[in-house]
Amino acid sequence: MIVMKFGGTSVESETAIRRVTEIVRAAEVRRPVVVVSAMGKTTNKLLAMAREAAAGRRDQALGLLDELRLDHLRHGLPLAGAESADLERFIRSHFEWLEEFVKGLAAVGELSLRSMDAIASAGERLSSLIVSFAFRAAGMRAEHVDSRRVIVTDTRFTEARPLFERTYAALKERVAPLAQEAVVVMGGFIGSTLDGQTTTLGRGGSDYSAAIIGAGIDAEEIQIWTDVDGMLTADPRIIAGGHRVKSLSFAEAAEMAYFGAKVLHPATVLPAVEKNIPVVILNSRRPEAGGTRIASEAVPSKNPVKSISCKRGITIVNIRSTRMLMAHGFLRRIFEVFDRFTTSVDMVSTSEVSVSLTLDNTENLRAITDEIRSFAEITAENDHALVCLVGENIRHTPGIAGRAFQVLSKLNVRMISQGASLLNLGFVIADRDVPEAVAALHREFFSELDPAVFD
């Protein structure tokens, strides 16, 4: 068995779903379980609709609902063939429920996290139904499984955590046997609590769903189908001319994802790592492209660096207190504050009386600043970026830092870190300098390519 996950752009329209149908048909012998995201920008529209309703703008919310209903009928019904009347009934039933829910939100004037999850889940519930009908119309035996019946989570609405023991048991009992007889279609991103309340796994959670399902059914491979050819040596939104990375280790992929790579959700690899299941990134618009294979061990490479990752919109926080000279507990006091406000830190640089760190989420920075000022000076600087060189060979290759900073000699590097994993070399620069920095590093480290690893 394999898991094939298709993102929103892969199922955004009738044409896109027909492409998905042909891709899955070609893999039918491998007994695929198909996991789909919501169509296109559906989740964003559903949440916007909910916010409009809760703010008392009922007509605007119902207008968004009508747009979504028409989109799903227009793109879905032509795919269902002889079963189009049944699919139309399902779609209209879902939107009738949504309409009542929206009217309820408008009456109450409040949008809870639980209600956000109930609304947001509709996108995957609809897309998975439409795709299952499309598969049957194309001659495949397909069965739809509501992910909420098998992905069991805690009650942290909008960011739910799977209860793995119960989830894996449900997947083995309900999905694995069914996949022996038919193509199973499920919605990503969604689950439910022990008492049946709908939850979501957070934005990007469809990738996570695919990995959880793959681990639960002991899949031989997890495929993530998206709209790019795989992981690249540099973000194409920053510079053109990046190269496809054919293979990565789990550790390299996790570093790239954490430090800004958008192709892969950072949590995706975790269930796959535990079960040692390879993950393959593929392009649904160019299925003939080779993609990127991620496994426990990377293919040996002559290049020390596999990719350049960037995380933009970074804030540097500088904390200083001469009162802490020769005193212990300074770092503990600082990070206890960040812990209380559930704010993650990316990079840290310390001295005896000062600490500099980077954040990509400043939602609680004002409150953090107010509390830290009781025992230290604190300032913040916006509009920075974290740039990382990632690769297994960095730990074994002398001179990488020297080469990197030689080509960046004209730029002001604010912080430097070699990760504890030894897989990355990171530094912080002004956000405006990112294109110049990435282009210079790319020329330095990818002028020659190992054909076994790069395309």
pLDDT in tens, 299-321: 889 999 999 999 999 999 999 98
Instruction: List CB contacts of 289: < 8 A, sequence separation 6 or more.
Output: 229, 230, 244, 282, 283
Count of beta carbons in the 10 Å neighbourhood of residue 379 = 11
Q: Tokens representing 23?
A: 């891709």
Give the tens place of pLDDT for each residue, 122-155: 999 999 999 999 999 999 999 999 999 999 999 9
Give the tens place of pLDDT for each residue, 151-193: 999 999 999 999 999 999 999 999 999 999 999 999 999 999 9
β-pair partners for 390: 307, 424
When mean pLDDT is compared across 21-35, 51-65, 258-272, the lowest value belongs to: 258-272
Q: Can you give the residue ranges of every domain in the chain?
A: 2-227, 307-445
CA dihedral 297, 298, 299, 303 (to 10 degrees): -150
Spatial separation of the C-alpha atoms in residues 31 and 143, rounded to whole Å: 12
Range 2-227 classified under CATH 1.20.1260.10: no
- The mean pLDDT value for 88-101 works out to 97
| Band of pLDDT at residue 205, cut at 50, 70 and 90 | confident
Reference 388, options 442, 310, 454; nearest CA is 310
| Band of pLDDT at residue 103, cut at 50, 70 and 90 | very high
Residue 255: the pLDDT is 83
| Band of pLDDT at residue 352, cut at 50, 70 and 90 | confident
| Band of pLDDT at residue 418, cut at 50, 70 and 90 | confident
Spatial separation of the C-alpha atoms in residues 429 and 413, rounded to whole Å: 5
Residue 261: the pLDDT is 64
Instruction: List CB contacts of 142: < 8 A, sequence separation 6 or more.
Output: 132, 135, 136, 182, 183, 184, 185
Q: Are the CB atoms for 257 and 269 separated by under 8 Å?
A: yes
Spatial separation of the C-alpha atoms in residues 372 and 201, rounded to whole Å: 32
Spatial separation of the C-alpha atoms in residues 62 and 53, rounded to whole Å: 8
Q: In what order do the strands lie in the sheet with 354-359?
A: 348-350, 354-359, 307-320, 377-390, 424-430, 415-418
Q: Classify domain 307-445 at the CATH topology level.
A: VC0802-like (3.30.2130)
Quick check: 113 pLDDT over 90?
yes
Quick check: 290 pLDDT over 60?
yes
Quick check: 257 pLDDT over 80?
no
Spatial separation of the C-alpha atoms in residues 218 and 61, rounded to whole Å: 42
| Band of pLDDT at residue 266, cut at 50, 70 and 90 | low
